[in-house]
Amino acid sequence: MFMRTGYVVGYAGLISALVILGIAKLITTLTTLSLSAIATNLDVRVGGVYFMISRVLGPDFGGSIGITLFVAQAVSIAFYTIGFTEASFDVLSGVMSAELVETLVNAHVPEIASSLVVTGLFAVTFKGADVAMKAQYFVLALLLLSVVAFLVGGVLNFDAGLLEANMTGDYIASDADEGKTLTFMVMFAIFFPAATGITAGANMSGDLKDAGKSIPSGTLIAILFTATVYAVQIFLVAGSTDRGALKADPFGALQEMSIFGPLIVLGVFAATLSSALGSFLGAPRILQAMGQDKLMKSFEYFGKGSGPANEPRRATVLSLIIAVGVIWAGDLNAVAEIISMFFLIAYGMINLSAFVESRSGNPSFRPRFRWFHWVTGFAGFIACLVVMFEINQRYAMVAIAITSILYFYLKKRDIQTNWGDAKAGYIFQNTRDNLLYLETAKFHPKNWRPILAAVSPDPLRQRRLVQMGSWLEARRGLYTVAEIHASADPDIHERLAYRKRRRDELNRHFASLDMVAFGEVVVVDDYNQGFATFLQSYAMSGLRPNTLLVSIPDALDVEGRERFRDTASILRAFDYNTLLLKPGELALEKTQRVIDLWWRGSRNGSLMALLAYLMKQDRAWRTAKIRIFRAVPEAGAEAEARSHLDRLLTNARIEAEVNVFHTEDAPSRFIPERSSGVADLVMLGLSSGDLEDFPGYLANMDSLLSSLPTTLLVWSNGDADLFA
C-alpha cells in the first residue's frame, strides 16, 4: 500500500493497475473459497493451514507445507522488523548527517534495533494471543488513521487532468530503474505480494471460538475491505500525483498527497509491526500442531502448550531465535523471494485440498460454506502456480524443489495417523470412473497388460510360482495370488477364520519379497469346483484376469496329476492366456541370466516374447539375455526363417539373439541340447490340442521337462500382440 501501489500506477496506469488489483484479489478470493469450504467441513484446531491441508491430503502433503510455512512465517518476522527499522532510519536520516547515519550502520545499530523490536514483539506474543491481539487493535488504529490521511488528501488534491494523463501505462524506465525490463506482468509480480496474507486469521484457528464461522466471514470481509481501500487509493493516486513522482518515489508521493505526511510514516510502522506480530502468532502454532501430530520426533517437544489457553511458548522461543538469526544474516533478498513462493505454494495446496475433497465424492464432505465449487478450487490452484512462475521462475522452482524433498522424505517415513484424508476418496472416485470407462471401452492389443492370477492349493508351499508371477507381471499390470483351499469343515466361521489368517500370511510374504500382489483365499469343498467359481467371479469391471499361472504337479504327485486333469479342462474353457510352470532351480548369484524362447508360431510367440520383455523390467532379470530358437525340418530353410524372425524382432522393438537351425531330431533331444545348463528359464508353446488332451501331452513331455530348467508352457488366446 505504501511502497508498491503508487509505483505500479506510475508504470501501468490506472486501468492496468485496477486490472492487476482485480486479478490479485480474484486469486486470493478463490483461495478463500477453498479455505472456507475446508474450514466449515472440519473441526479446525490449532495449526491453521497446516491442519487443514494435512487432514485433507495427508501428513506428507500437510507436513511439507507446514514446515515451509513455519520457516516462512518465522523468517517473515525478521523481514517485517527489518522493514520497520529501515523506515525508522529513513525518517532519522532527515535530521541526521550522512556521516552519522553511515557510522550507525557500520556499528550494526539497525541490526541491534531490529533485534530489540523483535524481542519486544516476542514479549507481547509470549504472554498470550489475547495480549497480542489487543496490541493489534492499537496498531490497526494507526494504520486506519494513515489510510484516512492519504485518502482525504487524494480527494482534496484530485485533478481530472492528471487522472487522464495517468489512465494508460508508460513502461519507460526512470533513472532509478534503468536496466530493468518493465511490463504488465512485472508490475503484477511487484504488486501481488500486497494481496497475500489471507491465512493470517486461519493460522489462529486454535484460538478462535468458532473457526468454522470466523475463518470464512473474517477472511472474505478482509479481502473486500482491502480491495476497496486499494481500488480507491489507485484511483486517487492516479488523479492527484504526477507520473514521474510515482515512478521515482512512490512513498514520498503518498506523503505529499496526504493531509498529514507523518501519519504515512506511522502507517508504515503500523503495517510492518502488524505483519510481524501476525507472523509471531502464526508460526509457533503451525509448529505446535506438527508436534502434536507427532509428524517428526524432533517436533514433539514443541507440541506441548502452556497455560489454560495451550499457548505454544516453546515454539515461540524458536521463532524468536530464527528471526534474530535472520536479522544478523545480512542480505537476504533471494531468501525473501523464496519465502513468498512458500506462501503461494501453501495457497495452491489449499485450493488443491478443496478440489480433492470435492471431487472425491466422499459423503463426509458436507461443508456449511456453500459458495465453493471444485472448479473454483482447481482454478485457484492453477492461478497460484502461474503467479509463482510469473513472479520469478528460478525461485519458484527452488521453492517447489524444497517442498518436494520434504514431501518425499515424509512420505518415505510412512507416518501413521488417526485421521482419514481425502486422497483415498479422490483415488476411489477416479478409479470408479475409470473402471466404468474400461467396462465399455473397445479393447486394442496396444493397451494389453498382464492381469495375472497365480492359482494354487497352497501358494506358500509353491513360492517359485508366486515369485514367477511377480516377475512376469513386472509391476506393469495387476497380480493376484489365489489360494483355493479344499476343506471338509462345513463351519463357515472356521472357514472365514482360516481365510483371514492365510491372507495375512500371504501379505506378509509379499512384503518380505518387496512384491506388489493381491492375496485372495477361497475355502471350498472341492478344489476344481472352487477354481472354476473363482475364475467366474474374480473380476472388477474391465479388470478381469487375462492370464492364468498354475504349477504343473510333479510326476510323483499322483493325486495332484489327477486333479490337474480337470484343472487343464477348466483352463481351456475360460479362454485365458495360460501359463503352466514346471519349477526348477534358479542360480540367484548369476550376473546375467538367459531366457530361451522356442518359436513355433506368431500367436504363442508374441505372448512369450512380451512376457520375456516384461521379465527384463524386473531388477532380478534386467541384464537377462533373450534367445529365440526355431527349428526348421527342411534343409536350406534356415536363412529365410532367420530373416523372418529378424524382421519380426525389429518391428516388435525387442532385442534378442536369433538361433535358427535345421534338424530332424525330436524336440525331446534338440531342446535340451541347447537350453539345458545354459538357460535359466525356457518358454515352450502349447497348442489348443495340447491343452484339450493335456494328460496325454504331459505324459509325452515329462522326460523333456525333467531335463530342462524352470520352464513355462505358454498358450495364448491371441489378445497379446507383439507388434501393437
Kindly list the averaged pLDDT for each block of 10 residues, start to end, along the chain of length 724.
89 94 94 92 84 86 89 89 84 76 82 92 87 86 93 93 92 74 85 83 83 91 94 95 90 91 90 89 91 87 87 93 89 72 89 87 81 92 91 89 91 75 75 77 75 91 91 89 90 92 93 90 90 84 82 80 82 86 78 88 85 88 90 85 86 85 86 89 88 82 88 87 70
CATH class label, 445-715 = alpha beta
Map residue 522 onto helix, strand or coil: strand
- Total Cβ atoms within 10 A of residue 103: 12
Instruction: Note whether 168 and 13 are within 8 A (CB).
Output: yes
- Specify the amino acid at residue 529: Q
Domain covering 5-413 assigned CATH 1.20.1740.10 in the classification? yes
Angle at 50 between CA 47 and CA 54, to 5 degrees: 120
> Residue written as cell 499322483?
558
Map residue 677 onto helix, strand or coil: coil
- Total Cβ atoms within 10 A of residue 334: 12
Angstrom distance (rounded) from CA 324 to CA 118: 7
The answer to whether the Cα torsion of 693, 697, 698, 699 is positive or negative is positive
The confidence score (pLDDT) of residue 441 equals 72
Alpha helices in 312-362 (DSSP H): 313-327, 333-360
Maximum Cα–Cα distance across the chain: 110
3-state helix, strand, coil in the chain (%, to 5): 65, 10, 25
User: All 3 cell numbers of residue 173?
Assistant: 524506465
Angstrom distance (rounded) from CA 179 to CA 158: 33
- Specify the DSSP class assigned to residue 198: T
- What residues does each domain of the chain span? 5-413, 445-715
User: How far, rounded to the nearest angstrom, does the alpha carbon of residue 671 sit from its chain's CA centroid?
Assistant: 51
User: All 3 cell numbers of residue 361?
Assistant: 465424492
User: All 3 cell numbers of residue 523?
Assistant: 475355502
- Specify the DSSP class assigned to residue 209: S
Over 440-464, what HEC string results? HCCCCHHHCCCEEEEEECCHHHCHH
The confidence score (pLDDT) of residue 419 equals 67
Give CA torsion, residues 551, 552, 558, 559, to 10 deg.
40
The confidence score (pLDDT) of residue 505 equals 94
CA distances from 218 to 29, 179, 212, 445 (A): 12, 42, 10, 57
Give the DSSP H or E segment for 163: helix 160-165
Instruction: HSE, CB side, 13 Å, CA atoms: give it for residue 542.
Output: 18
CA distances from 407 to 296, 335, 348 (A): 13, 20, 15
The confidence score (pLDDT) of residue 146 equals 94
Instruction: Note whether 251 and 267 are within 8 A (CB).
Output: no
Alpha helices in 575-601 (DSSP H): none
Instruction: Note whether 628 and 658 are within 8 A (CB).
Output: yes
Of 148, 419, 456, the residue nearest 292 (C-alpha): 419
Angstrom distance (rounded) from CA 552 to CA 557: 10
Of 330, 447, 337, the residue nearest 388 (C-alpha): 337
At residue 619, φ and ψ (nearest 5 deg) are -55, -40
- Total Cβ atoms within 10 A of residue 32: 30
Question: Beta strand 518-524 with 478-486: parallel, antiparallel or unpaired?
Answer: parallel
The confidence score (pLDDT) of residue 118 equals 93
